[in-house]
Structure formats: C-alpha cells, structure tokens
C-alpha cells in the first residue's frame, strides 16, 4: 500500500473502546508540546543570563527534563514508529533515514547544551551567555525544521497505521509529561 499524500483526508480510525488511533495527529500534539517546552526553557535561560530568574541548579534541572522528554520522543520514533512505518510504507524509508540523521544531530546539540549549562554560574559573562543562547537557537531551528518536515512527510502514514500494542499502551514517541 502506498503512503497517503499529505493532502489526503483520511477517516480517523478508532479502537473498540472508541479511543482515537490517529497517531499522526497525536504526533503533532507532542511536537507542539515540545515546542512550548523549548520556548519556556529559552525564556528561563534568557532570564537567568540577564540576571533574573532561576538558579543554575533549577535551570539545569529544567534543561534535563526537556532533554529527557525530547530524547524519549526520538528514541521511541527510532525504535517503534519508524520500523512500523517502514514495514507498511517502504517508500518512506529514505524519509525515515533522514529523520534518524536529524535525531543524531539533535542529540549532539543537546549534549553541547547540557555541557554549557553544567558550567554556567551566576553572573555568567557575555561570552558564556552568547554560547548558551547560540546553542538554544541552533536547537530551536533544527527542531522546527525537523518537526515541520516530519509532520509533512509521515503524519498521514501514521494516521493510517494500526499497531495493536499502541492501543493498550501509548508508545513512547507519543508521551508527554502532561499525559
């Protein structure tokens, strides 16, 4: 079966209990949540670097929470969603490979960001502030490009998937801290 076009309107499948199984739409919701969390982290970092806001320990904890959620999302895609999509829609394999490469780039940026925040002290100098802001800007730009591409290329295919285990237990790539 060929992957549905991005513009194709699909009927939203439901599970026997009436739960929506539109995994692609849930993916968009997770991406929105991750965008909001990154915006909050950026605002916290800016506030701290401007001499206001949280102490370095709380800022580091906020960063680790965000980084952990993002890593769980990408690891869940790599281990669960992408193999299921590749099996059902083999023509998506090049797209999935590109998305996996993006995940590796994001991991490297997260490591650099964590290292920078580890060394951040109250009253950080302008050089430290610029490096942290630059790394956050890099992460935001990379994630926006990645999320947008992913949403355009795989949401319809995800909506067409029927993965039995996903009905009983929400897959990791669809989890947020508010669920």
Tens digits of residue pLDDT in 46-92? 887 777 766 666 777 888 888 899 999 999 999 999 999 999 999 99
Number of alpha carbons in the 13 Å side-chain half-sphere of residue 152 = 7
Chain mean position to CA 163 = 21
- Architecture of the domain whose range is 23-174: Up-down Bundle (1.20)
Instruction: Give the model's pLDDT for residue 32.
Output: 95
How far is 156 from 12, CA to CA, in rounded Å? 10
Mean pLDDT of the chain: 81
Confidence label for 179 from pLDDT (cuts 50, 70 and 90): very low
Task: Give the residue from 135, 134, 62, 119 showing the smallest Cα distance to 53.
Answer: 62
CB 45 within 8 A of CB 128: no
- d(Cα 112, Cα 142) in Å, to the nearest integer? 14
pLDDT number for residue 55 = 64
Q: What is the pTM assigned to this prediction?
A: 0.80
Q: What's the confidence (pLDDT) of residue 111?
A: 92
Is 5 a residue whose pLDDT tops 70? no
- Per-residue pLDDT averaged across 117-123, rounded? 72
Residues 18 and 16: their CA atoms lie apart, in Å, by 5
Using alpha carbons, select from 21, 168, 24, 29 the residue that is nearest to residue 85. Answer: 24
């Amino acid at each position: 079966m060929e992957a549905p076009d991005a513009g194709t309107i699909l009927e939203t499948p439901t599970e026997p209990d009436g739960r929506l199984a539109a995994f692609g739409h849930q993916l968009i919701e997770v991406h929105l949540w991750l965008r909001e969390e990154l915006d909050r982290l950026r605002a916290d970092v800016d506030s701290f670097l401007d001499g206001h806001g949280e102490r370095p320990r709380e800022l580091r904890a906020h960063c680790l929470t965000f980084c952990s959620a993002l890593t769980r999302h990408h690891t869940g895609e790599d281990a669960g969603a992408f193999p299921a999509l590749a099996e059902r829609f083999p023509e998506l394999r090049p797209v999935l490979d590109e998305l996996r490469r993006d995940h590796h780039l994001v991991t490297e940026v997260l490591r650099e960001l964590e290292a920078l925040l580890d060394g951040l002290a109250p009253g950080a100098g302008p050089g430290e502030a610029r490096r942290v802001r630059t790394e956050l800007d890099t992460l935001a730009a990379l994630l926006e490009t990645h999320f947008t591409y992913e949403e355009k290329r795989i949401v319809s295919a995800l909506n067409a998937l029927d993965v039995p285990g996903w009905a009983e237990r929400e897959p990791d790539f669809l989890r947020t801290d508010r669920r």
